Amino acid sequence: MTRDILERRQVWVYVAAIAAGVAVGASVPQAAPLFEALLWPCLAFLLFVTFTQVPLVALPAALRDARFMTVVLIGNFVLLPLLVAALLPLLPDDPAVRLGVLLVLLVPCTDWFITFTHQAGGDTRRAIAVTPVVLIVQILLLPLYLWVFMGEGLGDVVSVPTMMAVFLLVIALPLAAAYATERWVARGAGREVLVWRLGWLPVPLLALVLFFIGASQVEAVEAALPLVGDVSAVFVLFFIGAVLLGIAGGRVFRLPVAEMRTLVFSFATRNSFVVLPLALALPAEWAAAAVVIVLQSVVELLGVLVLLWLVPRILSFHTLN
């Protein structure tokens, strides 16, 4: 199996992993603490591997591409949060569900977005260049967005010391290690093969993370099942809206076809597994937030399968000329 085939079929791998995890967790509920303990180092390693695929050393190049960078930042951090605000009233009146939706929809993707852009014939070079900027901006803005949408009551739920510890150990440390790895690779001939080999790992590692979540959070998964329909509908509406905003933004800024395709995937894909550790660190009664984030990733991947077929047809050189 090639890496391309693995990535194209990843959604089915993830669904199978979640189902297997729930089945195992329901069969041996006493093993839930063990699965939860294994989840954290696996998640940290997943983020390290994922961050190695983000060209952090390409940051200066991204800042020179002002037009494309402008539309990416305006869309992801102004227009899409407004879309999220418009969709919030459609959600169940459950604070944990709403927090999970906010966490996942307010952060643009920085990993498989590049892969999907390449598969759809987008501008992969620009996708690679803007990714580190998008990652940094979302880390800075996410606390502000959560405060705006959830209000001061969020402080009664979120333990700042716990969240800071999770951020440092599971997000910041893997990010720093990935940057150090990229610098090491850049200083020696032949070392780039390490990054290429690590690129095989995100799919199986993510499947393992989802298995551990299913096995350790059976009660949360079962409790969230009645909400799946309503929440999934919001995720579908967000996906459609993001795609339409991507097309509109590309036309307004008169982007070339390849850049428009890149913009569509930047808007439509979210950074679900970067915010997942933050959801998992919430109190037990807020466990639905993590389940919602996993659900979003499944809905998104199914949508991307359609988008990979659709985008080259609706955003072609023939139709825009």
Q: What CATH number has the domain bearing residue 231? A: 1.20.1530.20
d(CA 287, CA 217): 8
In a domain, 265, yes or no: yes
Instruction: Using alpha carbons, select from 51, 76, 47, 87 the residue that is nearest to residue 280.
Output: 47
Backbone angles phi and psi of 108, in degrees to 5? -70, 150
Helix (H, G, I), strand (E, B) or coil at 108: strand
Helices (H), 92-159: 95-105, 112-119, 124-150
pLDDT by 10-residue block (mean), the chain, 321 residues: 80 89 93 92 90 72 77 97 97 92 94 85 86 88 92 73 84 90 88 90 91 88 86 97 96 93 96 89 89 92 91 72 50
Q: Are 178 and 51 in contact (CB under 8 A)?
A: yes
pLDDT at 320: 54
In a domain, 155, yes or no: yes
Q: How many domains is the chain partitioned into structurally?
A: 1
pLDDT at 60: 64
pLDDT at 146: 92
In a domain, 320, yes or no: no
pLDDT at 218: 85
How is residue 118 written in tokens? Answer: 């390449």
Identify the H or E element spanning 246: helix 228-252
In a domain, 177, yes or no: yes
pLDDT at 270: 95
In a domain, 36, yes or no: yes
Residues pairing with 108 in the sheet: 270
In a domain, 179, yes or no: yes
Q: Are 258 and 123 in contact (CB under 8 A)?
A: yes
pLDDT at 61: 59
pLDDT at 236: 97
d(CA 76, CA 80): 5
pLDDT at 319: 53
Contacts of 80 (CB under 8 A, 6+ apart): 105, 106, 108, 242, 245, 267
How large is the angle between the packed helices 228-252 and 95-105, nearest 10 degrees? 30
In a domain, 156, yes or no: yes
pLDDT at 81: 98
pLDDT at 64: 73
In a domain, 319, yes or no: no
List the domain range (segments joined by +) for residue 175. Answer: 3-314
